A and B are shown apart, each in its own frame.
Chain A
Amino acid sequence: MFLDLTILAIVLAAASGLPGLFLARSSVRGERIAAWLMAGGALTGLVCAAVTVLGGGQPTAFFPWPAAGNAVVGLDALSAFFLVPVFLVGGLGPLYGLGYWPQRLHTSNGRKLRLFWGLLVAGMALLVISRHAMAFLLGWEIMALSAFFLVATEDHREESRRASWVYLVATHVGTLTLFGLFALWRHTTGSYALEPVGQDTLSLGTLHLLFFLALLGFGLKAGVMPLHFWLPGAHASAPCHVSAMLSGVVLKMGIYGLVRWLSLLPSPPAAWGSIILALGAVSGLLGVVFAIGQHDLKRLLAYHSVENIGIILLGLGVAMLGRSSGHPEWVALGLAGGLLHVWNHSFFKSLLFFCAGAVVHGAHTRQIDRMGGMAKAMPWTAACFLVGAVAICGLPPLNGFVSEWFVYLGLLKTALSGGTAAMVGVPVLAMVGALAVACFVKVYGTVFLGEPRTRAAGHAREAPLSMRLPMLALGACCALIGLAPVLVGPVLDATTACWLADAGAETVRLGHIAPLGVISVLAFSLTACVAGVMVFLGRPALASRAGPTWDCGYARPTGRMQYTASSFAQTIVLFFNRVLQPHGRRPRVVGLFPPPAHLHSHVDDAVLDRVLLPAGHRIEGWFNWFHRFQRGLTQHYVFYILLTLLALLCTLFPFKAHLAQWFAR
């Protein structure tokens, strides 16, 4: 019954944008209908997911699909776990869009955005509940293509078009890899069903091939470090709630695919866990380092997604190490950390993107160094952003701390009891956390504190209620998990049990190996301390000392003289000079009264700008000679057809017999 309800939710989501298409462009009813339909679908889906993850049970349903056998869909704890972010962010997005992307201001692309939003949610929910390779691919492609159209929402801008094409290429390479993966699966197991197979069905070579194909295909979607190149551009040029969806949920579909796939493969070799750990360490560290070098708020948040995917992979790597060496407590801690971070990241990253949307909307720029002092104009947004920032840095008392704590515990336990590969993870995770704090101090300090640096930033207004409500809801989720991790304990236990049930190993309860109650107590006492300090600082005696935030003894200070985000990050950027290779124009200031000068610096993406684009240009250069045949004249092309036709006709002609006849005596 809950499976049927989930399918109903998917249908509601897919249909949410349709009524708007039949209404006038100027009508605002379409967006309200879409928001209601999406909210209804999301609530239904969330209820189903909650009941399934807590109640267990694995109902399945069949859909006839003559070309590929019966398509099976089913709802188990793992699917339900991933349905939660899909429906939560999917349901909050259109509500946020009412204020952020209203139809009356975006008549040309608002309806398109809502249509593909609904399809995106439906596609992701379908792929999460499918138990059949073809149904999975169907959902995967619906997701990939609707995300493409969402990234290209503002297709009149060159930047959006370019980002969406890069995304399309990346996602189709991933899909091609998945075709290979499922074809190989069908070939070796004899069916498209995504069910665990016996120990001796697959040879070791096939097993490795399946693993690496899955890593490539799902890694491209998840944005693992060398494969992340589509991600910053796509996240930066999409509308903010789309970025929230992409970063918070679409990337997680890559993680879901990997997690689901690993549960199907029997007896994993120990190397897999180490490879996933290494990828996680690289993504985590480089993601945050590249984030520090960014000047664009949304690109910065996008690189933080790479970092968080790295943390999730660290957890998954620990779980894989535990599975291959038979340590159920490593599996429980690693998988719980990784999976909880999936939820957490989808909550706080969506929250951050929602806040970023409000800020960008108010300041009319995405450049961090052109904002400033936004906290005075938008106190709600500033508070929500602070919650998101504390959460993403993995600081108590919010949810990011809980999941990173599980990953730490798993890494330490593994490292101490023989898993040397995990030794790298602990310092990397610590460094990632420290750099993330530095990065968000930079962002929060520059964007929200101080004085406005531009006129537009000074004129910003607080976001409307429809935008604040989703932020508050997500912030509440972050706080709830952070303050009471006991609540998610059973969910994580059920999901881990589901993941291991396919593999046939025993499980350990999370509550027995991780101090969930202690985290709660610490979190509550820390919150009380912070609240106490704030009350103390807010006393009338202290608060009366009002004055400009930044003065520094100048007679006529302007907001533009403030310390910038770039100068704040300069030390760290220079420290990672070799990796970031920042470049730009740096003026020389000479004399006592130098003329006006401009400073400009930029950090290229490591893969897209330094490897893929030069390689693409090189290959294009090699094939330049072919332009000689492609002149654009129809007559030439018809002539090529004629030549081919004549050549084919000549193969029918018995030349040999004729020659023999002529030269015979």
Chain B
Amino acid sequence: MTNLLNTILVIVLMLNLFALGTSRIVSVIRTVAAQGALLSLLPLLLHEHLTLAAALTVVPTFALKGIIIPGMMIHALRDVKIKREVEPLIGLQPSVILGALATVFALLFADQLPLTDAHSGALIVPTAIATVLAGFILLTTRFKALTQVVGYLVLENGIFIFGMLLVEAMPLVVEMGVLLDLFVGIFVICIIVNQINQAFASMDTRRLVSLKE
């Protein structure tokens, strides 16, 4: 079980780096969709005895993270007719290197944390931290509104992995509430993206500075 789990988590880590290193927005969205779909399987692998709550979270999570949200984003992308992130704040290779450094930091750091025995073997905590950091890197270095949304998704994936540690303690409704929040948030942003494009004739979030007081 732990082997399969760790394999999935390593793939998640690699998908992080891939998302940081590619410039085509469609592939970034697909990468994150794949990451979300993989993560939605985690509850099945994490615990010896499959609980009903864990099983129930899998289906909507898979549908939302793997299919619906990426679908909405690709749809929004088609509407605003852009393909590439042309000018990130730092280049793609430095982003990948930063992401790798963040992963190393996460692995080192997770060793120092006082974890229970059940969790210390698996890669759950370092993957979570690394994914959160990757999300932050995406958020701070990309300027297109849609890649920012991707950054939020990666960040949320990291938090989702953390949440896996608590899936037995947390009620199902909290999990579902978080998913609903995410869905509504992305839904609204996809609409706003179109509006930004119309109002500023660009998807560059730096143009929004003119709204500042």
Contact = CB atoms under 8 A, between A and B. Distances in A.
Interface stretch (A176-184, A357-365, A648-656): A648-656
**Which of A636, A649, A654: most chain B CB closer than 10 A?**
A649
B205 A652 contact: no
Interface string A641-665: 1100100010011100000000000
**Which of A635, A636, A639, A653: most chain B CB closer than 10 A?**
A635
Interface in B87-119: 89, 109, 112-113
A653 B109 CA distance: 7
Nearest to B129: A649
Interface string B149-175: 001000000000000000000000000
**Which of A630, A636, A642, A653: most chain B CB closer than 10 A?**
A642
Contacts of B136: 638-639, 641-642, 645
A156 interface: no
A635 B109 contact: no
A66 interface: no
Nearest to A635: B140
Nearest to B209: A632
A634 B140 CA distance: 8
Interface in A591-640: 630-636, 638-639
Nearest to A655: B112
Contacts of A649: 109, 129
B212 interface: yes
A639 B140 contact: yes
Nearest to B136: A642
Nearest to B155: A638
Interface string B186-213: 0000000000000000000110111110
B148 interface: yes
B22 interface: no
Contacts of A634: 139, 148, 205, 208
B205 A633 contact: yes
Contacts of A641: 136
A641 B135 CA distance: 12
B141 interface: yes
Contact of A652 (B112, B142, B143, B148): B112
Taking chain A's interface residues, is the majority helix, strand, or loop, or is none over half, making it mixed? helix
A476 to B, nearest CB: 51
Contacts of B142: 635
Contacts of B209: 631-633
Contacts of A632: 208-212
Contacts of A635: 89, 139-143, 205
B159 to A, nearest CB: 12
Contacts of B133: 642
Contacts of B109: 649, 653
A288 B89 CA distance: 63
Interface in A3-21: none
Interface string B53-83: 0000000000000000000000000000000
Contact of B112 (A630, A642, A645, A653): A653
A652 B113 contact: yes
Nearest to A634: B205
Given A632-B208, A633-B205, A633-B209, A638 B140 contact: yes
Contacts of B113: 652
A225 B113 CA distance: 62
A638 B206 contact: no
Contacts of A639: 136, 140
A392 to B, nearest CB: 43
B139 A638 contact: yes
Contacts of B141: 635
A513 B89 CA distance: 85
Contacts of B112: 652-654
B200 to A, nearest CB: 13
A209 to B, nearest CB: 38
B211 A642 contact: no
Contacts of A633: 205-206, 208-209
The 6 closest A-B pairs by CB, nearest first: A632-B212, A632-B209, A642-B136, A638-B139, A639-B140, A635-B140
26 contacts: A630-B212, A631-B212, A632-B211, A632-B212, A633-B205, A633-B206, A633-B208, A633-B209, A634-B139, A634-B205, A635-B89, A635-B141, A635-B142, A635-B143, A638-B139, A638-B140, A638-B151, A639-B136, A641-B136, A642-B133, A642-B136, A642-B140, A645-B132, A649-B109, A649-B129, A654-B112
Given A632-B210, A642-B140, 4 more contacts: A633-B206, A633-B208, A634-B139, A653-B112
